[in-house]
Amino acid sequence: MRKRLEAVYFVPRDEDPRIGRLSGIIWALTRCQTFFQREGGILLDWRLLPPVFGKWTRKEYEDLELLFTEISENIGEPEIVGVFFEGFLHGGAFGNEGWFVIAEPYLHHLERRRFDAVVAHEIGHALGLPDRSDLSIMGLGPALGGLRRKAIFPRHRAHLSREDREALRRRW
């Protein structure tokens, strides 16, 4: 099943844009596409839109409705909206049905190998998967390393739990 994901790098009025972030975002989304195709049979048809420069300050976007209203003015309504937010926002990474946000403190780890696993975790939430307490990507997996980490034990490789793989195949 194909899912349309539109990603955007969003810069509040009081933060400086760092255009170098875009290459890290593209890298992570490419890895996530391979991961979800393998683990869930989902083709993430993603694209990274031009950066959006927000009208308000970082603090004001703690009201997520304000953030998403402004984003939808710019990009319409794709199946999944992924926001890479310049500046600290709530816990830093969170998502739910149809959307996710990744902000500081994760963005400055773009070049680190586990960043792609954090993005995969949030895409999982956007696809309707819950948090888990196992070693899968929806559990502690992102703490173990990136999506293509080498692992001695199969359960330490980047994966989705059987329940989540089945849920994705059933649902989509």
Which residues lie near Zn ion (CB under 5 A)?
131
User: Closest distance between Zn ion and the C-beta of residue 107, in Å?
Assistant: 17
Ranked by CB distance to Zn ion, the top (closest) residue is 131
Q: Which is nearer to Zn ion, 57 or 96 (CB)?
A: 96
Compute the chain's Rg from CA coordinates.
15
CA distance linking residue 74 with residue 92, whole number of Å: 23
Q: Which is nearer to Zn ion, 51 or 95 (CB)?
A: 95
User: Closest distance between Zn ion and the C-beta of residue 95, in Å?
Assistant: 7
User: Closest distance between Zn ion and the C-beta of residue 139, in Å?
Assistant: 9
Q: Which is nearer to Zn ion, 16 or 131 (CB)?
A: 131
Q: How many CB atoms lie within 10 A of CB 126?
A: 19
Alpha helices in 13-154 (DSSP H): 21-40, 64-75, 115-126, 141-144
User: Closest distance between Zn ion and the C-beta of residue 125, in Å?
Assistant: 6
What are the counts of helices (DSSP H) followed by strands (DSSP E) for the chain? Answer: 5, 6
Q: Which is nearer to Zn ion, 18 or 165 (CB)?
A: 165
Amino acid at 44: L
